[in-house]
């Protein structure tokens, strides 16, 4: 007999999660604010609770996958968390996650925060590589590890309940930087006789080839020696920036995505970082 659990929230993500637990044979109680979404899952074998409190009463493991932190507060208002293991897969900030963990503990519950690094079609598809960052109660994570691994991979990042949200935002922030760079690259060829598909192939390979440089950045940050293993020093890189800005101008492309990064590179160079590569920018941002 697989462990039973309750799931609060049957939006696009909650419904995808629910189906994987049902398919794996876990007795599942579901609750959704609007009852219509629960009816679809009842047909697939879920028990439907008439309220969040009713879903909690029948299960010690409770998963919430709601819109935002406010909706978690609303859905769980007045419910009894004593002895419950609450896993909150609702996107929140680190501060919201920490406050929600304290809130759950005050009510006698254990708390694990989770951030989902996947879109609904990747849930229940191990080959898709989706996973969930977890942080908070290590006991809760260990106890329910197998159940939590049903919809997607699990990566535990620490006892601080805010760390899952922090890792999520760190990864997605880097992703937006990559998207910004790709947008600039496509803009450069926008009005030329160059096939965007051929540029896309080159770009994807180039970004993959460059990605491992983050390990050198980590090495610098840990050792404090930002010149170790540097192959393209900052002095040379800053000297090259006019080529990027002039090319953008010649192509009629706004440099607005590049300018702030180049300004940080220049500032680090002016502070004496000419023999480093780009690690020093981290400290300019984190000051």
The residues that touch ligand NDP, with contacts defined as CB under 6 A, are 9-14, 32-34, 37, 65-67, 71, 74-75, 90-91, 116, 119-120
The closest residue (CB) to ligand NDP is: 11
Of 164 and 269, which CB lies nearer to ligand NDP in the complex structure?
Answer: 164
Distance in Å, CB of 69 to ligand NDP, minimum = 9
Distance in Å, CB of 84 to ligand NDP, minimum = 18
Of 32 and 279, which CB lies nearer to ligand NDP in the complex structure?
Answer: 32
Distance in Å, CB of 137 to ligand NDP, minimum = 20
The alpha carbon of residue 185 and the mean position of all alpha carbons in its chain are separated, in whole angstroms, by 25
Listed in sequence order, the residues at least 6 apart from 88 whose beta carbon sits closer than 8 Å to its beta carbon are 63, 64, 72, 97, 100, 111, 112, 113, 114
Of 156 and 226, which CB lies nearer to ligand NDP in the complex structure?
Answer: 156
Of 25 and 50, which CB lies nearer to ligand NDP in the complex structure?
Answer: 50
Distance in Å, CB of 36 to ligand NDP, minimum = 8
Q: Which is it for strands 61-64 and 85-88: parallel, antiparallel or unpaired? A: parallel
Of 131 and 226, which CB lies nearer to ligand NDP in the complex structure?
Answer: 131
Residues in the chain: 287
For residues 270 and 145, what is the distance between their CA atoms, to the nearest angstrom?
Answer: 50
Distance in Å, CB of 261 to ligand NDP, minimum = 27
For residues 23 and 175, what is the distance between their CA atoms, to the nearest angstrom?
Answer: 32
Place of tokens 């981290």: 282
Q: Is 87 exposed, middle or buried (0-12, 13-18, 19+ CB in 10 A)?
A: buried
């Amino acid at each position: 007999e697989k462990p039973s659990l309750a799931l609060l929230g049957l939006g696009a993500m909650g419904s995808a999660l629910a189906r994987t637990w049902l398919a794996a044979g876990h007795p599942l109680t579901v609750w959704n604010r609007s009852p219509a979404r629960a009816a679809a899952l009842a047909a697939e074998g879920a028990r439907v609770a008439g309220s969040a409190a009713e879903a909690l009463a029948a299960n010690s493991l409770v998963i919430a996958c709601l819109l935002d932190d406010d909706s978690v507060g609303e859905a769980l208002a007045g419910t009894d968390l004593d002895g419950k293991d609450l896993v909150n897969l609702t996107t929140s900030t680190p501060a919201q996650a920490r406050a929600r963990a304290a809130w759950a503990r005050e009510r006698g519950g254990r708390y694990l925060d989770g951030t989902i690094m996947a879109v609904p079609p990747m849930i229940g598809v191990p080959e898709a590589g989706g996973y969930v960052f977890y942080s908070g109660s290590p006991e809760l994570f260990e106890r329910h590890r197998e159940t939590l691994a049903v919809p997607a991979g699990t990566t535990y990042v620490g006892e601080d309940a805010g760390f899952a949200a922090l890792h999520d935002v760190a990864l997605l922030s880097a992703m937006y930087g990559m998207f910004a760079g790709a947008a600039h690259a496509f803009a450069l060829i926008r009005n030329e006789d160059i096939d965007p598909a051929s540029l896309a192939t080159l770009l994807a390979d180039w970004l993959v080839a460059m990605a491992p440089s983050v390990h050198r950045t980590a090495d610098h940050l840990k050792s404090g020696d930002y010149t170790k293993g540097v192959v393209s020093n900052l002095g040379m890189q800053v000297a090259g920036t006019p080529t990027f800005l002039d090319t953008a101008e010649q192509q009629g492309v706004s440099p607005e995505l590049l300018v702030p990064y180049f300004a940080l590179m220049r500032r680090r160079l002016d502070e004496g970082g000419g023999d480093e590569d780009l690690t020093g920018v981290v400290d300019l941002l984190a000051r």
